[in-house]
Structure 1
Amino acid sequence: MWLHVGCAQWTHPAWPQPSREKLRAYASWCNAVESNTTFYATPSRAVVANWAAQTPPDFRFVVKLPQVITHERRLTNVDTELRGFLSAIEPLGPRNHAVWIQLPAAFSPTDLGALAAFLHNAPRDHRYAVEVRHRAFFEDATASANLERVLARAQAEWIPFDTGTLFARRPTSFAERDAWMKKPRVARRTRVLTGHPIVRYIGRDSVEETVDGWSYLVDLVVHWISEGRSPTIFLHTPDNVEALNLARRFHATVAAAVPAVAPLPEPVEAEPPTLF
């Protein structure tokens, strides 16, 4: 049984990491990562091959489509860009868990035709997962059902970004205020569509509040694993200082309830600082 956990990045100044091969070090702490850098530009195959070389075959990348596809072209007339991107990430092999289609907040239920056409034409040898931010998808039952039908036809998953804990009370730090301005305030979603659910969860600066807020998610993940699903959970905080430890803590909490879950690797020690 597998539970994959990870963060929004594989390097952070506050994390215990060596000066080189930071991804290899990160992969000794977590077994999944959100690949946000691909949103800004399609990486070269050589760069992606280096990512693969630093991670074991069972490591999961959830790679975000470039913004030219999702935000600038809004999924229309992007066949060349999509195929170029999929070719670039090919060196990941089995590590490429899902292609992450994060849509802008302005992408509304009236745009579902573009998503349906995109998923219909997308190569079938990849798994796709969609994140929407328009509030109608969370507040209007018809809009939600229509989106689910589009995703179901392509065997794609709906990625929820759970910001409930973040917005539970007013921010008390710069990082929390910044997150309040940037993160979507949408209803919590617990329904999954495939055998590979993906959830993004953001807490607060307080570790205790973050852990208290994910209790429902622990129960859900235990249930999904009992159903034979293979979930991937990404843990965020406003500044992500504690995200690495929180990801391992979440995994340990689930593993305590489901001992058959495969363990995480043992973290490698960071290199001691040198003068040269």
Structure 2
Amino acid sequence: MRLHVGCAMWTHKAWQGRLLAHPLPAEERLRHYAGWCDAVEGNTTFYATPARDTVASWARQTDASFRFVPKLPKVVTHDHRLTDVTEPMRAFLDAIEPLGPRAHALWVQLPQSFAPTDVPTLARFLRRMPSSHRCAVEVRHPEFFTDARAARELTEVLTRAGAEWVPFDTTAFFASPPTSDAERDAWVKKPRTPLRTEALTDQPIVRYLGRDDPDRTVDGWQRWVDITVGWLREGRSPTVFIHTPDNAQAPTLARRFHDEVRARLPELAPLPRPIPVEPTTLF
């Protein structure tokens, strides 16, 4: 029984000297983050495929049970929309190979314009994926959430491929108007997709966006505590990513989510112990 939790990134200015030691060389930052959380979203790979040596450094900083969910490059999902992507996908898969089992799933985040009529394209893409990698697909077109036939057809394609449907739960965030600059920025950038809570595989992945107020974030995730407990009791192994607009408390909130689940399932494996942040000295 294992629940993995994490954040959208492994380094953040607001964490420096408070949650993570500062300064830290680049080759140590992920190791210190991995003392707080045992999973991370791979957003950086969306913008550029990293050098293989860089990815090897990520592997050295984490143990084999750590979970990366690297996002497919933008050129694959948004520019070429999963068509004629043999070369960029070959380069991407080669780059992330050093992660080994840490590459938990490849995150296929599709643009909002990727509609139910494009599902056959997704099906062809998933059929070509090597069996050594599983995929987790995030869709944002509203019809996937409001049209039962569209949802059913997508579910059938994903199920045949052994792929997961990743929900990005923003319902708690959009429940009331923003109250900070970070929330106002997120208000215009984040998707307003309806809530979806079903898992298709034994390794579901959830992305949850709360508020900058930790109490409101915790209030909004209570349904996910219930769902996660249920999944674990069914023998599933979920990964839950905790976001807030400013992400200043994201690692502590991720651990709090894990603690709430573990309070109901004491047999759940604990998270690692954070590396102590050494106090600043004058000399």
TM-score of the aligned structures, taking structure 1 as reference length: 0.98
Shift in Å at residue 168 of structure 1? 0.3
Separation (CA, whole Å) in 1 of partners of 2:278 and 2:41 = 25
- Of 79, 83, 88, the residue aligned with 1:81 is 88
2:43 corresponds to 1:40: no
The one of 245, 253, 262 equivalent to 1:246 is 253
What is the count of residue pairs matched by the alignment? Answer: 276
For 1:70 and 1:243, the matched residues in 2 are separated by 27
Task: Pick the aligned partner of 1:192 from 199, 205, 212.
Answer: 199
1:80: how far off?
Answer: 1.6
| Partner residue in 2 for 1:12 | 12
Choose the corresponding residue for 1:212, options 195, 215, 219.
219
Q: Secondary structure at the match of 1:199?
A: strand
Task: Output one character per residue of 1:72-119: Cα deviation in whole Å (capped at 9) or x when no partner.
Answer: 000000012112111110000111100000000111101111100000
* 1:157, distance to aligned residue in structure 2 (A): 0.1
Q: State whether residues 17 and 271 of structure 1, in contact with CA within 8 Å, keep that contact through their aligned partners in structure 2.
A: no
SS at match of 2:105: strand
- In the alignment, structure 1 residue 156 sits paired with structure 2 residue 163: yes
In structure 2, the residue matched to 1:103 is 110
Equivalent position of 1:142 in the other structure: 149
For 2:162 and 2:81, how far apart are their aligned partners in 1?
21
Task: Identify the match of residue 235 of structure 2 among 219, 228, 234.
Answer: 228
Q: Which of 126, 131, 134 is 2:133 aligned to?
A: 126
Distance (whole Å) between structure 2 residues aligned to residue 272 and residue 135 of structure 1: 49
Residues 15-94 of structure 1: pairs in structure 2 closer than 5 A = 15=15, 16-18=19-21, 19-20=24-25, 21-94=28-101
Q: Amino acid of the residue matched to residue 17 of structure 1?
A: L
Which secondary structure state, in structure 2, belongs to the residue aligned with residue 69 of structure 1? helix
CA distance in 2, matches of 1:273, 1:47: 30
2:204 pairs with 1:201: no
Identity among equivalent pairs (%): 62
Q: 1: distance between equivalents of 2:38 and 2:282? A: 32
CA distance in 2, matches of 1:23, 1:167: 31
Unmatched runs of 5 consecutive residues or more in structure 1: none
C-alpha deviations, 1:229-268, integer Å up to 9, x for none? 0000000000000111100000000001011111001100
Q: How many Å apart are 1:156 and its aligned residue? A: 0.1
Secondary structure of 2:9's aligned partner: coil
Shift of 1:273: 4.2
Q: What is aligned with 2:173? A: 166
Q: For the aligned residues, what is the CA RMSD? A: 1.1
Secondary structure at the residue paired with 1:57? coil
Compute the displacement of 1:198 (Å): 0.1
Task: Tell me the amino acid that sits aligned with residue 20 of structure 2.
Answer: Q
In structure 2, distance between residues paired with 1:247 and 1:33: 11
Name the CA distance, whole Å, in 2 between partners of 1:234 and 1:174: 22
Counterpart code for 2:43: N
Task: Give how far 1:174 is off.
Answer: 1.0
Partner Cα distance (1:273, 1:207) in 2: 27
1:97 and 1:127 in contact (8 A); partners too = yes
Equivalent-residue separation in structure 1 for 2:279 and 2:160 (angstroms): 52
Tell me how far apart the structure 2 counterparts of residues 204 and 214 of structure 1 sit (CA, whole Å).
11
8 Å contact kept, 1:40–1:67? yes
